[in-house]
């Protein structure tokens, strides 16, 4: 069964460093998403991406965040200058169409020291 | 604004007994509602979804949920718990008004199943 994959499973970085979280969505899906979950809090929407551009973003998704689909398979989330409060589990998801089920990856745990 | 409240952070049941995980939503418009499950080190998996068709929704692994507009609830049930049901469960709402398709999650309910 096709699934969304994410790498790495755990990333540790120093405050102020740039990180790139990688996702491989399901191959025939056209909509891509990033969510995050800070420990003990709710899963929060960050951004959705379609047709090589951001279709929707939340207040959390400020200028330090960016997304990219650099090739036909990967979908990346870049955090330019990490802060302690960026420590969270980051989930990638994809869907075939806007109203279809979103399939989630297993997440990347980001720890900022 | 849309929001979801999961009333219990942790539910513990004995194997073979019924499961009830509670969820209330707040939405200005007719919502789409979902239950997702997350097993350790796995992605979020869709259990079932309500999208304005039948109010009683059947999902995978014997789970059901009933949409009750008058109570703004979407509780998840299963008649008989199995050990493999132990996981974290998320109630999720999507409001598709004004072109928004983002999912709004509840805080999650951790289900423990006692042998």
Of B44, B99, B106, the CB nearest to A91: B44
Domains by residue range for chain B, with CATH: 3-114 (2.60.40.10)
The tens digit of pLDDT for each residue in B65-78 reads 999 988 999 999 99
Q: CA nearest A109 in B: which residue? A: B41
Residue B44 contacts residue A104 (beta carbons within 8 Å): yes
Low pLDDT (below 70) residues in chain A: none
Distance from CA of B74 to the nearest CA of A (A): 18
Do the Cβ atoms of B43 and A58 come within 8 Å?
Answer: no
Domain A5-112, what architecture?
A: Sandwich (2.60)
pLDDT tens string B79-115: 999 999 999 999 999 877 666 778 999 999 999 999 9
The answer to whether B18 and B77 are in contact (CB under 8 A) is yes
């Amino acid at each position: 069964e096709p699934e969304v994959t994410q790498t790495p499973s755990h990333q540790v970085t120093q405050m102020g460093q740039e990180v790139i979280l990688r996702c491989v969505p399901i191959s025939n899906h056209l909509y891509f998403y990033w969510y995050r979950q800070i420990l003990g809090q709710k899963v929060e929407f960050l951004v959705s991406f379609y047709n090589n551009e951001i279709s929707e973003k939340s207040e959390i998704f400020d200028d330090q965040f960016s997304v990219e689909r650099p090739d036909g398979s990967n979908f990346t989330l870049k955090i330019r200058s990490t802060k302690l409060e960026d420590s969270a589990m980051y989930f990638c998801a994809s869907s075939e169409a806007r109203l279809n089920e979103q399939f989630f990856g297993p997440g990347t745990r980001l720890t900022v020291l | 604004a849309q929001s979801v409240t999961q009333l219990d952070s942790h539910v513990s049941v004995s194997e073979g007994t019924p499961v009830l995980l509670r969820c209330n939503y707040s939405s200005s418009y007719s919502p789409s509602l979902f239950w997702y499950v997350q097993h350790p080190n796995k992605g979020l998996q869709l259990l079932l979804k309500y999208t304005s068709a039948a109010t009683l929704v059947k999902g995978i692994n014997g789970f059901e949920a009933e949409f009750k507009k008058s109570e703004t609830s979407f509780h998840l049930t299963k008649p008989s718990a199995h050990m493999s049901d132990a996981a974290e469960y998320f109630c999720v709402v999507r409001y598709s008004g004004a072109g928004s398709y983002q999912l709004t999650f509840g805080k999650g309910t951790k289900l423990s199943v006692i042998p």
